[in-house]
Chain A
């Protein structure tokens, strides 16, 4: 028996699957399962986070419902995955944030954006807030750069700390039996597997979403979202370097690197989340963890909001709307940062760790 009902069910399924093994060519979950005959809580959380929810094993399974063996691996692992996020959250006192995640994310996002608007309004004359500012340092007439940098660095560092502590707990739980630190080769392999979403492809045909016709749409939208996010992050990083190393202050002209990166990323962060949201709404309920709706949509909405406010700010930065839009954008980004360890963002972190572990296991077994 395991700690939770869903882990008991995951254990039951892995026992069924381990005596069948037809799906071993579909993804990493089943080969990892085959390396075990019994499953600890950590093993099951590992397998749950290794699963990319492509749905192929459900469509291909001769024992999926309505068969009496009732084998539904994608759904069971989706629930187990969501529960593992709470189980490994740091500090544990905040794990409850996952229970009503949609509400938590919405409230924090709303408060954060409201705080920036109020802050801007309280600390600036309305002439400044609604004024037209251009040229280097335009943004910092509304919020001094050092304050902005300090605030966001603090939020970001906290998120990094909380995520690091969480993934440490996860890593210990899943890594201990075979043990050892992650080696460079395994990490490189995991970066490749995550970067191309190698296991979100149904064994080659694409993933399943609304019916039994595979497609690559979810993969495409995830790529747009993920690489959009990375580009935006790169834009911010480059801008920070410009500021401190070159003494060049934002806003930058449209052709300059931070703006190019941010624009491309922003488009990804708008189009990608829309596509993922549409796919989420159309997804076959049989494959879904219905309790994760708030968490899934909350995270998608946060990314979309970040992309949208960023793009609006870029387009309208030389108008009177710049002040309010800057407040909204900063509010969205701040909320995104501080909720990172307590929302769907963590799926990427745990999945990456699981992929490292899988690469490691493959090397050990080879």
Chain B
């Protein structure tokens, strides 16, 4: 391995590989440093399954057009306006070409998966999922002559006046070394697996968070860049958090620990009290709020409670529901106060008005006279066995990042663009996503800005 490269890419996910491939195709010599072992390469990309790209017409796998304007309106809505319009519109425009470009890099598409029909028009799914996508990108990168090193922990970045000079690296066997490169692409993700860092904003509650991705998303590169004068962007307290099964592993449980059964029952905290309208809105919106809601409850735990009539209304779950023939028995298994749970459920049942149940629309099944209400899909919980899923906050990714311009070039604290440092993917997602999320957008940010960053980094190296 040569000690000096044109382009050094730190990170090993979608953004990093798109940058590496695009830089290599631009004529640069490229080294990719992935901090994780080979199996865990790719950060959160491992667990993704689709990408949201604008397109003017239906394709083989997309059911209809999704225009740039519609994409922009969706982004505006989910972020509540907290986005950089110039960057966001640029990304959306570029996303159109990504649909084809990513296929040229070996990635294959498939129609939306079972249970995700609502995304069939807007989102392109990776055949075989995110790891299949990564495998294809790595094969292409290696075929093009990109060098890749795993277990490569970057311990320091040498940066002078906004100019990247070298990265210090600790390898498990070969020891410490320094790698110099003409350009840097930082695509090393956020800090969601860094519990200590999360605690700065969430306090001790963060100890009860489960991390949906690998333990390697520690944000060390992000921290180094911010410490060395790169301008930060995004709310550090923001993270994408969903309610996942409390029995899930601490790290890397991925998508399969999620629960989408909230609308079919009620959700109570450890005191067996309801705390939020379970019928507020339809899926993806409600999906993304329940992580934060549970995080705000005592001990960061909650229980989705439903009865046997709705078991087949949602996708099969990894962990089976906990069951009891009576509410008291169920409460015992959940270690909840049985009297309190019986009271909560009987009050809820008494408040349910009759209506026509339809979980695909905001139906007219609601409660009256209880707080909080359940405004849609409210049905009595009365047919044993009674069932429950314990849930905790599952942290997907963080929003704090490095500010970039349209060239994916990092901006320094004084507002000046860095001479040779670029960023792509989750590490700069906060530029586009101030808050909120719409499915597949993280991958769009990764591929679009990865491709741009690689191209610009190679261009800089050639000059």
- When C-beta atoms are compared, the residue in chain A nearest to B213 turns out to be A62
The size of the chain B interface, using a CB distance under 8 A, is 30
- When C-beta atoms are compared, the residue in chain A nearest to B245 turns out to be A19
Across the interface, do B312 and A37 meet the contact criterion of CB distance under 8 Å?
yes
Known A15-B318, A34-B114, A37-B312; judge A23-B128 contact (CB<8 A): yes
Across the interface, do A25 and B316 meet the contact criterion of CB distance under 8 Å?
no
Is B172 in the interface zone, CB < 8 Å from A?
A: no
Across the interface, do A61 and B131 meet the contact criterion of CB distance under 8 Å?
yes
Known A15-B318, A22-B113; judge A67-B252 contact (CB<8 A): yes
Across the interface, do B256 and A16 meet the contact criterion of CB distance under 8 Å?
yes
Closest Cβ of chain A: how far from B14's Cβ, in Å? 14
Partner of A37, one of B110, B254, B255, B316: B316
Across the interface, do A19 and B129 meet the contact criterion of CB distance under 8 Å?
no
- B 128-143 to A, binary, CB cutoff 8 A, 1 in contact else 0: 1111100100010000
Is B108 in the interface zone, CB < 8 Å from A?
A: yes
Is B249 in the interface zone, CB < 8 Å from A?
A: yes
Known A60-B131, A62-B46, A68-B249; judge A20-B39 contact (CB<8 A): no
Across the interface, do A60 and B114 meet the contact criterion of CB distance under 8 Å?
no
- When C-beta atoms are compared, the residue in chain B nearest to A36 turns out to be B316
Across the interface, do A21 and B115 meet the contact criterion of CB distance under 8 Å?
yes
Closest Cβ of chain B: how far from A327's Cβ, in Å? 51
CA–CA, A213 and B136, complex, Å: 9
In the assembled complex, which residues on chain B have CB atoms less than 8 Å from the CB atom of A34? 114
Across the interface, do A203 and B108 meet the contact criterion of CB distance under 8 Å?
yes
In the assembled complex, which residues on chain A have CB atoms less than 8 Å from the CB atom of B317? 19
CA–CA, A20 and B257, complex, Å: 9
Is B127 in the interface zone, CB < 8 Å from A?
A: yes
Counting chain A CB atoms within 10 Å of each CB, the highest count among B114, B115, B249, B317 belongs to B114
Across the interface, do A62 and B249 meet the contact criterion of CB distance under 8 Å?
no
Known A18-B316, A37-B312, A37-B316; judge A213-B131 contact (CB<8 A): no
Across the interface, do B316 and A15 meet the contact criterion of CB distance under 8 Å?
yes
Is A3 in the interface zone, CB < 8 Å from B?
A: no
Query: Which residues between 1 and 59 of chain A lie within 8 Å of chain B, taking CB atoms?
Result: 15-16, 18-26, 31, 34, 37, 56-57, 59
Query: Which residues between 68 and 90 of chain A lie within 8 Å of chain B, taking CB atoms?
Result: 68
- B 97-114 to A, binary, CB cutoff 8 A, 1 in contact else 0: 000000000001011011
Query: Which residues between 202 and 217 of chain A lie within 8 Å of chain B, taking CB atoms?
Result: 203-205, 212-213
In the assembled complex, which residues on chain B have CB atoms less than 8 Å from the CB atom of A61? 129, 131
CA–CA, A59 and B317, complex, Å: 23
Is B47 in the interface zone, CB < 8 Å from A?
A: yes
Is B315 in the interface zone, CB < 8 Å from A?
A: yes
Across the interface, do A213 and B139 meet the contact criterion of CB distance under 8 Å?
yes
Closest Cβ of chain B: how far from A14's Cβ, in Å? 9
In the assembled complex, which residues on chain B have CB atoms less than 8 Å from the CB atom of A204? 108, 127
Closest Cβ of chain B: how far from A207's Cβ, in Å? 13
Closest Cβ of chain A: how far from B295's Cβ, in Å? 23
Across the interface, do B128 and A56 meet the contact criterion of CB distance under 8 Å?
yes
In the assembled complex, which residues on chain B have CB atoms less than 8 Å from the CB atom of A23? 128-129
- When C-beta atoms are compared, the residue in chain B nearest to A213 turns out to be B139
In the assembled complex, which residues on chain B have CB atoms less than 8 Å from the CB atom of A68? 249
Partner of B255, one of A20, A203, A212: A20
Known A19-B317, A24-B113; judge A203-B127 contact (CB<8 A): yes
- A 140-162 to B, binary, CB cutoff 8 A, 1 in contact else 0: 00000000000000000000000
In the assembled complex, which residues on chain B have CB atoms less than 8 Å from the CB atom of A25? 110-111, 113, 125, 127-128
Is B49 in the interface zone, CB < 8 Å from A?
A: yes
Known A20-B256, A26-B128; judge A59-B135 contact (CB<8 A): yes
CA–CA, A171 and B113, complex, Å: 29
In the assembled complex, which residues on chain B have CB atoms less than 8 Å from the CB atom of A15? 316, 318
- When C-beta atoms are compared, the residue in chain B nearest to A68 turns out to be B249
CA–CA, A22 and B114, complex, Å: 9
CA–CA, A67 and B125, complex, Å: 23
CA–CA, A280 and B18, complex, Å: 35
Closest Cβ of chain B: how far from A213's Cβ, in Å? 7
Closest Cβ of chain B: how far from A184's Cβ, in Å? 28
Is A63 in the interface zone, CB < 8 Å from B?
A: yes
Partner of A22, one of B39, B128, B249: B128
Across the interface, do A63 and B113 meet the contact criterion of CB distance under 8 Å?
no
In the assembled complex, which residues on chain B have CB atoms less than 8 Å from the CB atom of A22? 49, 113, 126, 128-130, 132, 255
Across the interface, do A19 and B315 meet the contact criterion of CB distance under 8 Å?
yes
A22-B128, A22-B130 given; 8 more Cβ-contact pairs under 8 Å: A18-B316, A25-B111, A25-B128, A59-B135, A60-B128, A60-B132, A61-B129, A212-B135
> Can you give 9 A-B contacts (C-beta < 8 A)?
A19-B256, A19-B317, A21-B113, A21-B115, A37-B312, A59-B132, A63-B254, A203-B108, A213-B139
B residues with CB within 8 A of A = 39, 46-47, 49, 108, 110-111, 113-115, 125-132, 135, 139, 249, 252, 254-256, 312, 315-318
A residues with CB within 8 A of B = 15-16, 18-26, 31, 34, 37, 56-57, 59-63, 66-68, 203-205, 212-213
